[in-house]
Amino acid sequence: MLNVYLSGEIHTDWREQIIDGAQGLDITFNSPVTDHAASDDCGVAILGEEPNKYWHDHKGAMVNAIRTRKGISDADVVVVRFGDKYKQWNAAFDAGYAAALGKSVIVLHGPEHQHALKEVDAAALAVAEKPEQVVEILRYVLTGALPG
């Protein structure tokens, strides 16, 4: 059995592609809350409003960290996806956190980010461009079967 945490970009369906593709494999997937609005507002929605945007963000980030820490700590493999937009510093942060804990890291990004992600890629055991490659790695790791 493999426990896989899917970190990073939340605007495309890459998580669904991986989870669907991995059907039939003995894998437990976890991920952050991917509802952008809920993720941004969870702190103040539960713990009370903050007039200052910094503390608004801070409270939410702290609550989300409860889920993220649990997800990464429990994982055997952490997949970190970098998309086309935004700074995505939380993704790189998760990669560093996972690497320091000795987790197997798989980075998923397009070739245009190779230079900017070279330090992150250097801490990974695989660098993939497409979700199906991640599925193939997970299948191979669990069953020894190669694609095709």
Cβ closer to a second copy: 20 or 93? 93
Cα–Cα distance measured from residue 21 to residue 19, given in angstroms and rounded to the nearest whole number: 5
CB of 46 to a second copy, least distance (A): 5
- Show the tokens assigned to 55: 């503390």
Minimum CB–partner distance for residue 11 and a second copy (Å) = 14
**Considering the complex, what minimum distance in angstroms separates the CB of residue 15 from a second copy?**
13
Nearest to 57 by CA among 72, 36, 34, 84: 36
| Token code pair at residue 22 | 């991995």
Would you say 20 or 132 has its CB closer to a second copy?
132
Q: Which is nearer to a second copy, 19 or 61 (CB)?
A: 61
Indicate the pairing of strand 27-30 with strand 2-8.
parallel
